[in-house]
Structure 1
Amino acid sequence: MARPGPTMVLPRAASPLTTSPTSATPATSQAPPPGDDNEPAFYDIEQEPKVFYYYVHLTVRVPVSKPYLLMSDVSPVEGSTMWMSCNLENGTGPIQYVWQYETRSSNISAFAQGNTNIINVTNINRNHTGWYRCVASNAVNSESSNRLWLDTIFGPDIPQIDWSK
């Protein structure tokens, strides 16, 4: 009768798996000592059995979800201060944010970037009126928010009379 090839019994996880919405990693990166509720892998060989312990460090990188943009005031008064926030449901850090502005004539420019999801805009003026969006990126992917219109309230301007002419 032919003897089957080597067989293996796989061990259970060497340590509990800790998960969060943005990552999953083993609770410890050190291998637990034999007998601490970990099972070895046994190979069926013709000599004495050999015991092998396998420990895996698992890193799960979660792609960024589609960001959504929030503004503290979508119709700020000229001269005021407001903030914008680029929010995500999921994504493994580090996450980079790029803030984009689109004028009425469809010119798009990046006006800020960094690793923070909130920016403050001080001394709002009529030139800030336009479409805004944020782009969130990590090692896995990059996603853009939908545009949000900022409508600055201004005027009427104080008339100026020049008596010198």
Structure 2
Amino acid sequence: MTTARSFATGVLLLSVFLAWEVEARTAIVRAGEGWQLMVDGQAYVAKGVTFSGSGGPANFDRDCEQLKSLGVNTLRTWGTGDETPALLDAAHEHGLRVLVGLWLRPGRAGMEKDDAFDYVRDAKGREAQLQATLAQVRRFKDHPAVLAWGVGNEVILNSQG
């Protein structure tokens, strides 16, 4: 799957994730025989890049300004962390939207030093991961730069058969 198709599919599938908790600014609507991503009532075409920044939060403003000048309107992250508020603020200041990554443990030997996690057998681990994910959604859901949630990063691709 191409990066653009993967990105679009992620936006399509994940923009409705936890929709019961917020008034949606992002929606997927039927458009002829296909679908259209809408943001604040306007058609939206994501022109995105994956984003980790060039040196941390101190550079987010400059990074977002440069990306905007290249025609980028959407950033994708892999997970949340201490730097997420600064990224969302910089993105918003430059008119960018963010597909906020919600990291999930890969649970596959050799992946991210996470060999011990087992999605099938570790009910406590699954529940802890669910609660941590919900906490991040609650923390950032009202930020105006949030476009949608990117749940996991190649978790299904890398999970055990």
Tell me the TM-score normalized by structure 2.
Answer: 0.21
Larger radius of gyration: 1
